[in-house]
A and B are shown apart, each in its own frame.
Chain A
Amino acid sequence: MEEDKLDNLYQEIILDHYRRPRNPNIVLNPQIHAEGFNPFCGDRIIITANFDKDGVVNEVGMEGEGCAISQASASMMGEILKGKTLESISILTETFRGMMRGNNLSEKDIELFGELMALEGVREFPVRIKCALLAWSALDEGINNYKK
């Protein structure tokens, strides 16, 4: 078996986020509320978040069900959102999309991404990229709705 390739996809940190998702709740009266649903596999994710008075995310909640990749990606995303402004979240999202498209990240981005880099292995499995992007696309939509 191509154990290496699989182990690279399902790194321990990914399985850990899958088994023990971080921030597994729904924030009360959220300023950002987004839902992602993949009709092909039934994966779903609900993202809720609030900002403090300086426009920095101080509360995040994630709820969902689905494959290890979609749920781990959502859990990791939730962790990295905390302390970020809307503007930096948009840049982060674009960088993550770029990584999924095959872009190499700068040293600075790699440092910023931290655990998220574990999802790089998904690139080797093109059909699974949409799993990794599910939460990010939903977040994008949630932010756009918030801005309106």
Chain B
Amino acid sequence: MLNLEQMRKDFPILNRKVHGKQLVYFDNGATSQKPRQVINELVDYYENYNSNIHRSVHLLGEEATEKYEIARSKIASFIGTSVPESIVFVRGTTEGINLVASSWGSMNISAGDEILLTPMEHHSNLVPWQLLAERTGAQLKFFNLTEDGQLDLSNMDSLISPNTKLVALTIMSNVLGTINPVKKIIDAAHSVGSIVVLDGAQSVPHMPTDVVDLDCDFLAFSGHKMLGPTGIGVLYGKKEILDEMNPYMFGGEMVRQVSLEKSTWNDLPYKFEAGTPNIADVIGLGAAVDYLLKIGLKNIHDHEISLTSYALTKLEEFSDRMKVFGPRDTNLRGGNISFHCRDIHPHDLGTFLDQEGIAIRAGHHCAMPLMHCLEVPATGRASFYLYNTHDEIDFFITILGKALNYFEK
């Protein structure tokens, strides 16, 4: 059990008033709020040991380097690996996936190869593969979706063939909340020699992740969705795969020997971290991981499942006027709830709720192909995190009811 009252005090922004109302923040799928512990860590770095890392001979540089590398180790163990070199710092999930598409993809994908994706991918796990396919002559293939927004695995054996070289999918849909059976898919992909790239942007912040148990080849996720700062994300890759890959950007730090004519590359993970990295935010992300571990990912997940189940039940009250997407069974999903109201466009609903201090997301959620599958132009989405409460859901439901009546009148 979480001590919600105590924990909420760690998040200064939760005291904020919006249009004179208490903020109810249900837009965690877009970005999470930050606890004081993370904010303080950033301040501490800038006030006390701000300096560049790895090449400094002075004390500040030594301290910054140590904190930076400790954060890398923490993040490694947070996702279940004891190999810190397999953690590459990037700007976010998007850059992580682009790194794989650009480096691994260019070296390993050629005409006739198949890349298997799902219709529920965020654009960031779709567009880089479209471009890779275009560049190389590879073919994109897609799983189907079931009626309630799960992956249809009935034709998996034909979708995954000896031509399949790469499977990329999200662990949890940012729209449907669906948690995909990634382990099963990874096993099937590996049996034909394909690698698997996981988008963990929506899952890593909300439930335990174990890359060794999953046996995924790559996993990308974003710091800002897991209590950390913006502008920092992680690409995990199996060390033996990363070792074989060419760097993605070139410059300082990623080289070993440089002459006027040619250069050789630094060791992992530095060959992928050209230039001065985002030192402060890496250290901030380390603090976020500490915070999440202190609360416990299992506790967080259980709390969110309780909120999600409660919200889904409450939303049934409006079932004649709105459609809720994604699986109903909370064993199959997380706390992203998307819905479409018969009489209200999501933007109008978003504006209405905002006047009451409730922040939801309205739009296509960077998943236009999925909107097409769901046959809606856009949806509203409420997404929960550890600090949300059942009372907030009650308030949301009350205001949602008001909105439905308002636009129906």
Footprint of B on A, CB under 8 Å? 1-2, 5-6, 9-10, 15, 39-44, 65-69, 125, 127-128, 131
Q: Let me know if A15 and B345 touch, CB within 8 A.
A: no
CA gap between A42 and B351 in the complex, in Å: 16
**Nearest CB on A from B338, distance (A):** 13
Contact with A along B316-354 (1 / 0, CB 8 A): 000000000000000000000000000001111001100
CA gap between A66 and B356 in the complex, in Å: 23
Q: Which residues of A contact B409 (CB under 8 A)?
A: 15
**Nearest CB on A from B400, distance (A):** 13
Q: Which residues of A contact B347 (CB under 8 A)?
A: 41, 43, 66-67, 69, 128, 131
Knowing A42-B377, A42-B378 are in contact, say whether A6-B355 is a contact too (CB < 8 A).
Answer: yes
Q: Let me know if B348 and A10 touch, CB within 8 A.
A: yes
**Nearest CB on A from B219, distance (A):** 28
User: Among A15, A42, A65, A128, which residue has its beta carbon within 8 angstroms of that of B407?
Assistant: A15
Which residues of B (352-373) have their CB < 8 Å from a CB of A?
A: 352, 355-356, 362-364, 368, 371
Contact with A along B73-104 (1 / 0, CB 8 A): 00000000000000000000000000000000
**Nearest CB on B from A45, distance (A):** 12
Q: Let me know if A128 and B355 touch, CB within 8 A.
A: no
Q: Does B20 contact A (CB under 8 A)?
A: yes
CA gap between A125 and B323 in the complex, in Å: 27
**Nearest CB on B from A20, distance (A):** 13
List, sorted by A's number, 5 A–B pairs whose CB atoms are closer than 8 Å.
Answer: A6-B352, A66-B345, A68-B348, A125-B351, A128-B347
Q: Which residues of B contact A5 (CB under 8 A)?
A: 355
Q: Let me know if B355 and A2 touch, CB within 8 A.
A: yes
Q: Let me know if A41 and B355 touch, CB within 8 A.
A: no
User: Among B20, B362, B402, which residue has its beta carbon within 8 angstroms of that of A2?
Assistant: B20
Footprint of A on B, CB under 8 Å? 19-21, 345-348, 351-352, 355-356, 362-364, 368, 371, 377-378, 402, 406-407, 409
User: Among B20, B348, B368, which residue has its beta carbon within 8 angstroms of that of A67?
Assistant: B348
Q: Let me know if A42 and B364 touch, CB within 8 A.
A: yes
**Closest A-B pairs by Cβ, 10 of them:** A42-B377, A67-B345, A67-B347, A42-B378, A68-B348, A41-B363, A67-B348, A2-B355, A42-B364, A41-B347
User: Mostly helix, strand, loop or mixed at chain B's interface?
Assistant: mixed
**Nearest CB on B from A71, distance (A):** 8
Q: Which residues of B contact A66 (CB under 8 A)?
A: 345, 347, 377
CA gap between A131 and B378 in the complex, in Å: 14
Q: Which residue of B lies closest to A40 (CB)?
A: B363
Knowing A67-B345, A68-B345, A68-B348 are in contact, say whether A10-B362 is a contact too (CB < 8 A).
Answer: no
Q: Let me know if A41 and B351 touch, CB within 8 A.
A: no
Task: Apart from A2-B19, A44-B377, A128-B347, list 7 A-B contacts with CB within 8 A.
Answer: A2-B355, A6-B351, A6-B352, A42-B363, A65-B377, A66-B377, A67-B348
CA gap between A65 and B406 in the complex, in Å: 20
Q: Which residues of A contact B362 (CB under 8 A)?
A: 41
CA gap between A53 and B240 in the complex, in Å: 74
CA gap between A1 and B352 in the complex, in Å: 9
Q: Which residue of B lies closest to A5 (CB)?
A: B355
CA gap between A133 and B42 in the complex, in Å: 41
Q: Which residues of A contact B371 (CB under 8 A)?
A: 42
CA gap between A125 and B31 in the complex, in Å: 22
Q: Which residue of B lies closest to A3 (CB)?
A: B355
Q: Which residue of A lies closest to B399 (CB)?
A: A1
**Nearest CB on B from A14, distance (A):** 10
Q: Which residue of B lies closest to A127 (CB)?
A: B351
User: Among A41, A125, A128, which residue has its beta carbon within 8 angstroms of that of B378?
Assistant: A41
CA gap between A131 and B407 in the complex, in Å: 17
Knowing A2-B20, A2-B355, A42-B363 are in contact, say whether A10-B406 is a contact too (CB < 8 A).
Answer: yes
Q: Which residues of B contact A40 (CB under 8 A)?
A: 363-364
Q: Let me know if A69 and B348 touch, CB within 8 A.
A: yes
CA gap between A9 and B352 in the complex, in Å: 10
Q: Let me know if A68 and B407 touch, CB within 8 A.
A: yes
**Nearest CB on B from A135, distance (A):** 15
CA gap between A75 and B90 in the complex, in Å: 46
**Nearest CB on B from A113, distance (A):** 22
CA gap between A66 and B378 in the complex, in Å: 9
CA gap between A68 and B347 in the complex, in Å: 9
Q: Which residues of B contact A39 (CB under 8 A)?
A: 364
Q: Which residues of A contact B378 (CB under 8 A)?
A: 41-42
CA gap between A69 and B402 in the complex, in Å: 19
Q: Which residues of B contact A68 (CB under 8 A)?
A: 345, 348, 407
CA gap between A128 and B354 in the complex, in Å: 12
Knowing A2-B20, A125-B351 are in contact, say whether A41-B406 is a contact too (CB < 8 A).
Answer: no
**Nearest CB on A from B19, distance (A):** 6
CA gap between A117 and B345 in the complex, in Å: 22
Residue picked from B20, B345, B362, most chain A C-beta under 10 Å = B345
Q: Which residue of A lies closest to B344 (CB)?
A: A68
CA gap between A41 and B368 in the complex, in Å: 10
Q: Which residue of A lies closest to B378 (CB)?
A: A42
CA gap between A43 and B407 in the complex, in Å: 18
